[in-house]
């Protein structure tokens, strides 16, 4: 199994709104892709008016991940309204082999 992780930052007062937006776009997209084993979104208040947002999804294989972003699985996927929320973003994602659970 492969874990796929992405991080970004939003203004803390918009976290709930962003979570709702990503549940409707990114998390739904993950879950509708063949080979996806689930997805979560985490938030962390940084105490300076920003909150870190992390999305984590689990996949059967690296090949299965290609069904979501396409051939370049290292590229993060963004949605039309992301620019209205994100104050910082990673443009790439990381993949980790899950070796124990």
Tell me the per-residue pLDDT of 52-86, one tens digit each, with 9 for 90 and over: 999 999 999 999 999 999 999 999 999 999 999 99
Tokens for 17? 């709104």
Buried b (16+ CB within 10 A) or exposed e, 82-101: beebbeebeeebeeeeeeee
Length of the chain: 101
Q: pLDDT tens, 38-53?
A: 999 999 999 999 999 9
Model-wide pTM > 0.85: yes
State how far the Cα of 76 lies from the Cα of 25, in Å rounded to an integer. 13
Q: How confident is the model at residue 101 (pLDDT cuts 50, 70, 90)?
A: confident
């Amino acid at each position: 199994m492969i874990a796929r992780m992405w991080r970004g930052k939003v203004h803390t007062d918009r976290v709930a709104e962003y979570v709702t937006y990503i549940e409707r776009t990114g998390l739904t997209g993950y879950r509708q892709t063949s080979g996806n084993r689930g997805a979560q979104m985490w938030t962390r208040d940084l105490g300076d008016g920003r909150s870190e947002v992390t999305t984590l999804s689990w996949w059967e294989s690296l090949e299965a991940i290609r069904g979501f972003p396409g051939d370049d699985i290292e590229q993060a996927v963004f949605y039309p309204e992301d620019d209205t929320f994100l104050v910082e973003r990673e443009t790439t994602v990381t993949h980790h082999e899950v070796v124990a659970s």
